[in-house]
Amino acid sequence: MQENIKKLLIQQVNKELASAYLYLDMSKFYKTKSIEGFAHWFKKQASEELEHAEKFMDYLADNDIEYKFEPIEVLAKDYKNLKDPLLHQLEHEKYVTSLINEIYRLALEENNYPLVRFLNWFIDEQVEEEKTAKELLEKFEYVENCKMGLLKLDEQLKAR
Ligand SMILES: [Fe+2]
Ligand SMILES: [Fe+2]
């Protein structure tokens, strides 16, 4: 395996952990505003990101690739309103998709089919992640100016 692919796979562990950190921060933001459903939803989202990091860790271990953990970047922003994190989430997922796509491209380039198979799960997952982020943003936009609607959506998100 090319060194630059190894580097990107190791980096992806860090990126997934940074995503978890970002979504925990969003969860905290909603929680402090008593928007409990959104807070719960982003906490779940953070655990999914942790699972993604673990998948990459397993792949690296299975392929005897050694690495050290790097500091996790704080991607959190100062959110101005309840919609802000949702916009930021969609943007962030698109960024993560671009990272996965780049590793995929390199895996194809070196005819590394086991890695391609491993990454297929992430290709599908990113389609899902972008779709989910977009849907949540759109749902929010429907009820943006209606407090009752917002509380109802918040209730629904508790079920995740
Ligand atoms: Fe992820
Ligand atoms: Fe994600």
Tally the domains of the chain. Answer: 1
Q: How far is the CA of 129 from the centre of ligand 2 (A)?
A: 5
Residues 105, 4 contacting (CB under 8 angstroms)? no
- Domain of residue 66, CATH code: 1.20.1260.10
Cα gap 96→52, rounded to integer Å: 11
Ligand nearest to the CA of 50: 1
Structure tokens at 124: 């599908």
Percent helix / strand / coil, the chain, rounded to 5: 80, 0, 20
Q: How far is the CA of 52 from the centre of ligand 1 (A)?
A: 5
Q: Fill in the amino acid letter for 145.
A: N
Residues 15, 92 contacting (CB under 8 angstroms)? no
Residue 33 belongs to what domain range?
3-157
Consecutive 10-residue runs of the chain (160 residues): their mean pLDDT? 96 98 98 97 98 98 97 95 98 98 98 98 98 98 95 95
Q: How far is the CA of 32 from the centre of ligand 2 (A)?
A: 23
Q: How far is the CA of 112 from the centre of ligand 2 (A)?
A: 24
Q: How far is the CA of 152 from the centre of ligand 2 (A)?
A: 25
pLDDT score of 160: 85
Residues 6+ positions from 156 with CB-CB distance below 8 Å: 37
Residues counted in the chain: 160
Q: How far is the CA of 142 from the centre of ligand 2 (A)?
A: 23
Ligand nearest to the CA of 44: 2
Ligand nearest to the CA of 93: 2
